Amino acid sequence: MGGNTGRIDETAVGNRYGAWFTRGLRGIGMRYVFSRRGLWVINTPYRRILGAAAVTREDRVLDLGCGIGNILIALAEQIDFVRPAAGVDVSPDLIRIGHREIARAGLQDRIGLQVAPATRLPFEDGALDVVLTSHVLKHLDDEALLSCFREVARVLRPGGRFLLWEFDKSPRSALLFWSARLSGLPPPFQLRTSAEFSRVLRSTGFHRVVRFEPGFFLLPPVPRLALLATR
């Protein structure tokens, strides 16, 4: 099941999100919903999910597909990281807004954002302890997903953790398809099951993959899956 099971252009997806965040009333709404202040709307149980990775202040953390930095801001508010947390997103517009959000929170010395695709991460081998990503992987086609997971495995140290959550591939996810048709959201996407994600994770160097219950999400109220993979 998916909105698009063929080729998905990462850059085009990023450009489309960038346009939504910067234009008119939709932009105002998007900037709120995807900000730290709006986490309760689209990432309602985020504290519970993040707890699965057991992030400590010594961990070097990356948010892959960070958007405007909402998850990183929430983490940095709770954890005094020894080294700045990092975020990458393919959209320059979202990174630009993210810099403003981080400055507004007074965290510009504790979070660094940069433009980069999920398939080419600008970090050295084994440089990170934790990589997390939320509601991003649906915008990667099969080839890009494989490249992304290889990159995550490369930049994580041995024993490093990869935490992901995403819409589940389920008959109950039909609501997502109807909302996409009615609103034009989101861009091309492909939903997958936890078994499909696990298979790709294990093929790219993750030796332990655990699925856990992510909890209730307010919007949209469709099933999610959450996985914690160990390098």
- Strand (E) or helix (H) holding 48: helix 46-51
- Residue ranges in the chain modelled with pLDDT below 70: 1-5, 177, 179-186
How far apart are alpha carbons 142 and 82 in whole angstroms?
36
- Which helix (DSSP H) or strand (DSSP E) does residue 99 occupy? helix 92-104
pLDDT score recorded for residue 90: 97
**DSSP type of residue 149:** H
CATH fold, domain 10-230, is: Rossmann fold (3.40.50)
- Assessment of whether the complete model's pTM goes beyond 0.95: no
Alpha-carbon distance 33 to 176, whole Å? 17
What pLDDT does residue 182 have? 63
Q: What ranges in 34-115 are assigned the alpha helix state H? A: 39-42, 46-51, 70-78, 92-104
| pLDDT value, residue 174 | 74
